[in-house]
Amino acid sequence: MTALFDFDERCRGGAKAVLVSVSFSDADDTARVAELKMLVLSSGAEAVGLLTCSRTAPDPKYFIGSGKTEELKALVESCQGETVIFNHELSPSQERNLESFLGCRVITRTALILDIFAARARTREGKLQVELAQLGYLETRLVRGWTHLERQRGGFGLRGGPGETQLEYDRRLLKERVNILRKELREVEKQREQNGRARSRRGIPVVSLVGYTNSGKSTLFNTLTDAGVYAADQLFATLDPTLRTVSIPRVGKTVFADTVGFIRDLPHNLVAAFKATLREARESDLALMVIDSADGDMDDMIAAVEEVMEDIGAGSVPVLKVFNKIDRIPGISPHIEHDSAGLPRSVSISAKTGAGVDLLLRAISDRLGHDRVSLELTLPPDAGALRQRLFAMGAIESESYDDSGKACLRITHSRTELARLSARFGGALERYVTAPASFSFRREVWED
State pLDDT tens for residues 104-120: 989 998 888 888 877 77
How long, in residues, is the chain? Answer: 448
Give me the percent of the chain exceeding a pLDDT of 70. 79
Helix (H, G, I), strand (E, B) or coil at 353: coil
CATH architecture, domain 372-446: 2-Layer Sandwich (3.30)
- CA atoms in the 13 A half-sphere facing the CB of 444: 0
Given pLDDT bands bounded at 50, 70 and 90, which one contains residue 127? Answer: confident
Alpha carbon 428 to chain centroid distance? 42
Distances (CA, A) of 188 to 14, 195, 220, 289, 312: 35, 11, 28, 27, 18
As a whole number of angstroms, the longest Cα–Cα distance in the chain is 96
Task: Give dist(CA 236, CA 233) in Å, integer.
Answer: 9
Domain 203-369 CATH class label: alpha beta
pTM of the model: 0.67
Q: Give phi and psi for 179, each to the nearest 5.
A: -65, -40
Lowest mean pLDDT among 110-119, 171-180, 201-210, 303-312: 201-210
For the cut 70, the answer to whether the pLDDT of residue 332 exceeds it is yes
DSSP alpha helices (H): ranges in 202-284? Answer: 217-225, 268-273, 279-282
Q: Are 362 and 336 in contact (CB under 8 A)?
A: yes
Q: Which amino acid is at 167?
A: L
Task: Give dist(CA 51, CA 81) in Å, integer.
Answer: 12
Given pLDDT bands bounded at 50, 70 and 90, which one contains residue 124? Answer: confident
Q: Show Cβ contacts of residue 199 under 8 Å, excluding neighbours closer than 6 positions.
A: 206, 255
- Mean pLDDT of the region 394-422: 85
Q: Show Cβ contacts of residue 73 under 8 Å, excluding neighbours closer than 6 positions.
A: 101, 102, 103
- CA atoms in the 13 A half-sphere facing the CB of 16: 11
Lowest mean pLDDT among 231-240, 358-367, 383-392: 231-240
Higher pLDDT, 292 or 317: 292
Helix (H, G, I), strand (E, B) or coil at 15: coil
Residue ranges per domain, the chain? 9-117, 122-187, 203-369, 372-446
Under CATH, domain 9-117 is a member of which superfamily? GTPase HflX, N-terminal domain (3.40.50.11060)
Q: Taking CA 397 as the corner, what is the angle to CA 396 and CA 398, rounded to the nearest 5 degrees? A: 95
Task: Give dist(CA 229, CA 215) in Å, integer.
Answer: 15
pLDDT digits (tens, 9 = 90+) for 246-257: 888 777 788 898
Angle between helices 109-120 and 124-139 (to 10 degrees): 160
Give me the percent of the chain exceeding a pLDDT of 90. 33
Q: Which amino acid is at 370?
A: H
Can 9-117 and 203-369 be said to share one CATH topology? yes
pLDDT digits (tens, 9 = 90+) for 156-190: 444 444 555 666 777 788 888 888 888 887 887 77
Q: Are 203 and 393 in contact (CB under 8 A)?
A: yes
